[in-house]
Structure 1
Amino acid sequence: MFDSVFSADQLVRIPGGSVPVRITHGPSREYFTGIGFPLIRDWLYLSPVDEPSGEFPDLGTVRPELDEFIDIPGGAKEWLLVGHLGPDLLLLDGATGRVHAIVNGSDEITPVHESLQELGFFLYVMQRERALFYGPYEDTDESEDVRGAIDLVRAELAAAGPDAFTGPGASWPRLLREFKDEWVEYAPAGSGPQAGTSYPGEHNWWAPRTCPEPARRCDRGHK
């Protein structure tokens, strides 16, 4: 699936000898070597490493002050950072394979994915449907159609990983809602104060690298 939506230079896969030894969960080790991590600048997801030999920092390094504020789960300081989802941290429990999130600036650790494979499926779907999130198309009113399509993406992801859509401030529903709300505000026939203007691209972590087809949609100066 990854190979169908990412090019070879948009993925970083980790040789077996470079997989952190603290990852004892077999399927997680296989994910590091066989599936890997998307490596795209200004995308929704940010990989913690940019080369196969890169080191994955742990929670104790990324947030050393955390245990001063909350009673963190046992062994959590050893969990590895496996990416940023927008402004949120994604952490892997190397013993169980579960992925947890720390929402931007908070002190709460929340389970978000049963496995790296589940996270990978979410990233695959978001890349597959990336054109939905580029913003309103020039001289058209497709706001309702695209917002409905975003709802379908949400339903697909929720069916694949329901835990990702539970809990206060959960990352995935919040991020998808932000995309959908921007369509309300900036769509050509929208009702918001910016209706009729070009999409502002305020999420610098989702700037498209190339314009979608057809060419009439290339209205934001991307080459």
Structure 2
Amino acid sequence: MSMTGAVTAAITLTEHDLDPYITHAPTRHWLTGPGLPCVSDLLTFEQLRRDGLRTVADTTGDPGILAAELRDRLVIGGLLTPEGGAAESVLLDGATGAVMTAYFPYDRPHAGDTRPLAPSLRALVTFAAATEELADLRGRFAAYAGRHGTKAAQEASRQLLAVFEEGTDGAVPPYWKMAALIRPLALVAGPGTRSGLTLDLPPRLLDREFGPGRLARFEDMDFPSTLTHEPTRRFLRETGLPEDGTLLTFDSDVQLPTLAEHYAEDGGSGSRRGELPPRAAHLIRLGRLVDDHALLVDGATGEILAWSERETTLRSLNTDVSTLAFTLWLLRRERAIDRELSHELTTDAYDQLAATMIRVLRAVDPAGSPHHPVDWHYWTRLLQDEAAGVL
């Protein structure tokens, strides 16, 4: 086994390394020639680099518990999660060259169900490279740099999907289908040059998706004096936030209270009031999230926060109202796409869909939290919880 130069680093194997595991000639050629990337945003082949070719039976340590068709598949790497860890194993069929994924629970290693990933290693490397080029707006997607809006997202989606369809004769695996349909949505909103916020949303984007009657808009009289962040005031007044009744509800029928005022008016216990976060008089309560978190905006900075009444913990939710609105729009758009596909994405690959959505959200709103360690992020946790039914 070897690793080639730093610029085009790749993991390659020798003919001796391949025997007796791989008999498929194109796969042997690929692994002894171009090889597999050492560094990727989506995939890791560290296990192949470290251990060489090993079967699933070798990896699990108990071949007797595995289905016969799974036992001799080769573990060559894993799909990377947005946090950087490997979630599903990437498997290779040495006889056909097909690539698939499987998740092997530590307590039930025999329970791994395979899902198709690519018809060949060549296709796998091509698909991953194209997806990363879209994320970075380089290579075949360089022309999209500086372009934003629904038209740009649709064009990029069609272009990426064409790469996948060409490599699979139209039978695109769910992982790449969701990459083509979901990841280009990061292009919809541009940087906030007009709004003074993180994002400039296209005009009427929220109205078209939710309907004008489902947007909560506020008037100046609704704002407490501590809401001094003018871009936030303008957004809440002119654009508004979508209310779908599922994820959150807004207090649009009353003047917006500060967190301190809300507890004073709502009759919270004295001990609970004493546990309010610092600057509670400058945190304005917009409404309530689905899981007993209050939705807050920092009146001075515009940051959107989640306040857990049960845990008395304040956490970052979104950078500002523009990225909160985009998050809600993205979640609704994903549901519409999944319905159009007869729920193929949520039925066949929920975990992969959640990871794709998290990557899109982080591309437009890498909200780091000064209030809680960065390994906790509200939307990440909610999306990963399939039982919550967010997707």
TM-score (norm 1): 0.65
> Equivalent residue of 2:311, what SS?
coil
Partners in 1 of 2:378 and 2:324 — Cα distance? 12
> Which residue of structure 1 lines up, in the alignment, with residue 319 of structure 2?
114
The structure 2 residue matched to 1:151, chosen from 355, 378, 382, is 355
Deviation at 1:145, TM superposition (A): 4.0
The amino acid of 2:223's aligned partner reads V
Partners in 2 of 1:45 and 1:17 — Cα distance? 23
Asked if 1:95 corresponds to 2:287, the answer is no
> Equivalent residue of 1:102, what SS?
strand
Task: Kindly report which structure 2 residues correspond to 1:1-223, keeping only aligned pairs within 5 A, or say none.
Answer: 1-41=205-245, 43-49=246-252, 51=253, 54-63=254-263, 65-66=271-272, 68-69=274-275, 72-73=277-278, 75-87=279-291, 88-103=293-308, 105-131=310-336, 143-163=347-367, 167=374, 169-179=376-386, 182=387
Gap change, CA 1:89 and 1:132, over 3 Å in 2: farther
Deviation at 1:85, TM superposition (A): 2.5
Runs of 4+ in 1 over 6 A off after TM superposition: none
The amino acid of 2:298's aligned partner reads D
Q: How many residues align?
A: 176
- Structure 1, unaligned runs of 5 or more: 183-201, 209-223
- Structure 2, unaligned runs of 5 or more: 1-204
Deviation at 1:171, TM superposition (A): 1.7
> Which residue of structure 2 lines up, in the alignment, with residue 221 of structure 1?
none
Query: Where is the strand percentage greater, Structure 1 or Structure 2?
Result: 2
Higher relative contact order (CA 8 A, sep 6+): 1
1:130-166 superposed Cα distances (whole Å, 9 cap, x missing partner): 24688x958x796334543332211101222222686
> Which residue of structure 1 lines up, in the alignment, with residue 111 of structure 2?
none
Gap change, CA 1:151 and 1:131, over 3 Å in 2: farther
TM-score (norm 2): 0.40
Partners in 2 of 1:141 and 1:127 — Cα distance? 14
Deviation at 1:16, TM superposition (A): 3.6
Higher alpha-carbon deviation: 25-34 or 10-19: 10-19
Partners in 2 of 1:164 and 1:133 — Cα distance? 29
Partners in 1 of 2:385 and 2:242 — Cα distance? 22
Identity of aligned residues (%): 23
- Larger CA Rg, structure 1 vs 2: 2
| Alignment root-mean-square deviation, CA | 3.1
